[in-house]
Structure 1
């Protein structure tokens, strides 16, 4: 949350130069507060696990957050109870006239397929198109990040020679990004994917800013439109044992997957892993809700400006 100070205080200029949000007394007098409206497009098979992970990270906000859970209409999940979806979820066709302060598009286990061959691609493309005019800030996670980068910017994914799995060290590339306020210079982040980013194509688009990168995992946090689009190739939301469960699942299927790197104690798959990223995960989501959503979204969502309005003019 911002600190409230006299607008004439000399410290104001120094703090603003460091990209620290301060609110003048004059603005505070006219501030209105309402609940944030957030949509979660949950594409993961284990929907309840993903719900818990994401809601846990957003529950530490001092602002009330209203959540709409969305599932796809064009594809029926085989791993989710129809009764659960009917009771707790809605679909895009039911909310397409609604505007949101924020949206989260999760990962999905379809990354080796071409985007247009994914059963629900047309529906997801419609959601992403809708987000440009009707969502203030959209957070894309893992496959959702690759899908968003391809749909919005034409950056294709690259198939890796083996699964990238583990907890990798990342370095902040922007010391003043509000998303990393309170972060250490280096931080751990889990990854679990078979694809990577076309880094050369990424760097050719000046509107895309790489905020965090790993020597082993590549570009991990990318921002566009001054925080209105954020792409994360990893999983801040993962529980301590999520990679372990995925590793066990893959090996039981007979898949040739590497042991998750920098994850199990002494690299022993029989040892219970310890989370080293939980604090940064909570901080990242708190920063996203505060700086990319709450501090920036208009009070009246009806006055929301299209994301690419400046480019269209």
Structure 2
């Protein structure tokens, strides 16, 4: 799939080495089609790494996609340069009158902080509310999923006894959902979090359904029955080395982290972790783009606002 991004975005060089077709703005202007408009709200500290991970996953369909990035203006980013943000990212005030086929909201390493104490919570609530009338389908990841469930459905997170980290086996509970087309009964996915969601809290919401669950890691994927919102509590977008990097980062902070489960062969840090989740990651995101977004989104996105006004 041709992903259309700014020509100078550093992630392009990484993706091109992987033979992923990235289309710059100049070439895309010569294709007479309406591409999907996808917005990524990147809440992760190392934004360049997350850019590569998500753009890689969005590359697995024949659809042309315009990708834009959003960051929180009410939060000071310490791990990404202001030059990078100013050049490649929007602030919410700049795009609040725009419409998008899809929105991806990433995780953030702040699960232990109550939502209302997050410094950008007010701004994020604005974005959640705006998305109801300006975005067709939203994919929430990890803390982004917990925040979305809290805002839209009053489902709160709860603190785990210790950090959940590792690669876990997951069971597909309902194959009839289009976002799970082509999935085997069981697949693997990474988790990295201190908090969880209770099944009983999700089950009481009529419009939500738990689609994928793990015996060890709990709920993984929740879908809104109108295909307009999905909530993934894990990190299928993670690279092979991401959990290792997080483990070593926590060691350097003196946190005495537990070794990620089912990750290092024989729990030996000297052995390279096996990559067992990228096929599922590619399939999940391509299914979301194709079935939840492309086949259902209106050609004229302003109809989203008209739809909300009619309700």
TM-score by length of 1: 0.87
> Residue 116 of structure 2: SS of its match in structure 1?
helix
Deviates most, 169-178 or 38-47: 169-178
- Residues in 1 aligned to 2:205 and 2:119: alpha-carbon distance in whole angstroms: 29
C-alpha separation in 1, matches of 2:290 and 2:306: 20
Deviation at residue 203 of structure 1 after TM alignment: 1.2
Identify the residue that residue 14 of structure 2 maps to in structure 1: none
Partner of 1:297: 297
Question: Match for residue 26 of structure 1?
Answer: none
Q: How many residue pairs were aligned?
A: 281
The residue that corresponds to 2:243 in the other structure is 243
Deviation at 1:220, TM superposition (A): 0.6
CA distance in 2, matches of 1:248, 1:144: 24
Matched, 1:155 2:145: no
Which deviations, in whole Å up to 9, do the C-alpha atoms of 1:14-61 show, x marking residues without a partner? xxxxxxxxxxxxxxxxxx951000000000000000000000100122
The higher radius of gyration belongs to 1
Residue of structure 2 equivalent to 1:86: 86
CA distances 1:176-231 after superposition (whole Å, capped 9, x unpaired) = 11111111110001000000002211111121110100011111100114210100
**Structure 2 unaligned blocks of 5 or more:** 2-31
Structure 1 unaligned blocks of 5 or more: 2-31
3-state SS of paired residue (1:60): coil
* Distance in 2 of aligned mates of 1:280 and 1:109: 23
How far does the alpha carbon of each residue in 1:88-114 deviate from its partner, in whole angstroms, 9 at most, with x for none?
111111000001000000001111000
* 8 A contact 2:157–2:197 mirrored in 1: yes
**1:104-115 equivalent positions in 2, closer than 5 A:** 104-115=104-115
Residue 7 of structure 1: aligned partner: none
Q: Normalised by the size of structure 2, how large is the TM-score?
A: 0.87
**Pairwise CA distance, 1:269:** 2.1
**Distance in 1 (alpha carbons) for counterparts of 2:131 and 2:179:** 20
Which is further off, 129-138 or 218-227? 218-227
Q: Which residue of 2 aligns with 1:72?
A: 72
Provide the residue aligned with 2:275 in structure 1.
275
Alignment check: 8 A CA contact 2:209 2:225 kept: no
Two-structure CA RMSD over aligned residues (Å): 1.7
- 2:165 match: 165
Deviating above 3 A after TM superposition, structure 1's stretches of 4 or more consecutive aligned residues are 305-309
> 3-state SS of the aligned residue for 2:132?
helix
